[in-house]
Amino acid sequence: MATLQHRVDPLQAWLGTLAGLVALLSGGMLVSRGLLYDGFLWPHLLGPLYAEAYAAECATLQGGVVSVHHEGCATATGLVALPGATLLGTAVTTLVLAFLLLGFLSLSLRRDLGSGRRFFYALVPFVLLAGVVLTLRDVSATYPRGLADTVGYPTNLLLAGPMLTLTLALLALLALVGSVLLVDWGVSDRYERPLLFAGLAALGLALGRFVVAATSTPDLGAYPAVPLVVLGGASLLAVVLWTALARLFPHVLAGTSAAGLVVLWGFAVNGVASVVGIDWAVALGLPTAYEATNPLYQVLVDLSRAALPASVVQWAGAALPVLLVQVAVALAVVWMFDDRVVSAVPRLSNALLLAVLGFVLVPGVRTLLWMSVGL
């Protein structure tokens, strides 16, 4: 295997495959545009994206002209595409995402990237970015033309449907490539710093666009107490837990160190946001309480309401078990990443930590931002 890796460079193989796919797609468009574009790309990929990007009932392609329709699709002429992913479109999107991840891995292997904890910290803003962009798409649903009204063309196409995942993956890959180039050109001594700044810049732009979109429609409001309570409570809880582990059980943090604090914070944001939404939303000024965003959370809330006296539920709320479960899982995750595992497979441990963080932090940020504007 090692001999084969030296004979076939992973990054060169990936770039060669990319060039081949581009040539194949371009050749197909030249030879038979009707078969490739009209028969595959439009009905399974571009058509549904156009319809969703404009919050339309359907999108049509006729004579090379794309039109979106908010009504009358039953009598529309041309190639009609409905919003929503098709089975074939989903399969292609998944393959493209896997190909981008292979490119990410190939570059990491070629340049020995991703084995240090700085790499993990540099990608945390991209995890937050995913939650913000998802919520921006949710806010867009309150506008007549959806994403077309909030971010405009062609950005609306990049954020519609499954393209959102591909856009975020491609953005992270391009940021990594740019960071490596800055090191090669002598602009930066480490690639993690520009990668972190790129993520923070993208996160700042997305948050700014979210605020503009949320404050430009009368359907939403502003509830600043929500982010103060959720972020303040989650940060305090994470710091207390991490400090207690560092003093009482330091071996638990031997593998993650400060990264463990980030993981604990991600779980805490998810848990505290759920508790606030279910039990304390009205007390913080929101018109109604929120339902549990996860079936397991709903089971825990129902059990709490059934098992505890009504007076206790009224005083402490019914969603506290959700937070306790989040804390327990977070402690288990940090404990599993001991120093032996991390030192044996540092690049894989970073990838797994990022995956776990994204699994809890993205929906946590989404819930937080929902409540912050009363969505």
Contact between 159 and 133 (Cβ < 8 Å): yes
Q: What is the pLDDT of residue 309?
A: 66
- pTM of the shown model: 0.86
Element (H, E) at 274: helix 258-275
Q: What is the mean pLDDT of the chain?
A: 83
Q: Which of 269, 242, 270 is nearest to 258 (CA)?
A: 242
Strand order in the sheet with 58-62: 65-69, 58-62, 79-81
**21-40 per-position pLDDT tens digit:** 888 878 877 776 667 777 77
List the domain boundaries for the chain: 109-220, 222-375
- Preceding peptide of 250 cis, ω within 30°: no
**343-359 per-position pLDDT tens digit:** 767 777 888 888 888 88
Pairing of strands 79-81, 65-69: unpaired
Share in percent of the chain as helix, strand, coil (round to 5): 75, 5, 20
pLDDT confidence band for 1 (50 / 70 / 90): very low
Tokens of 163: 């393209």
Helix axes 320-336, 225-248, angle to 10 degrees: 40
Furthest C-alpha separation in the chain: 73
Q: Which of 151, 209, 190, 198 is nearest to 174 (CA)?
A: 198
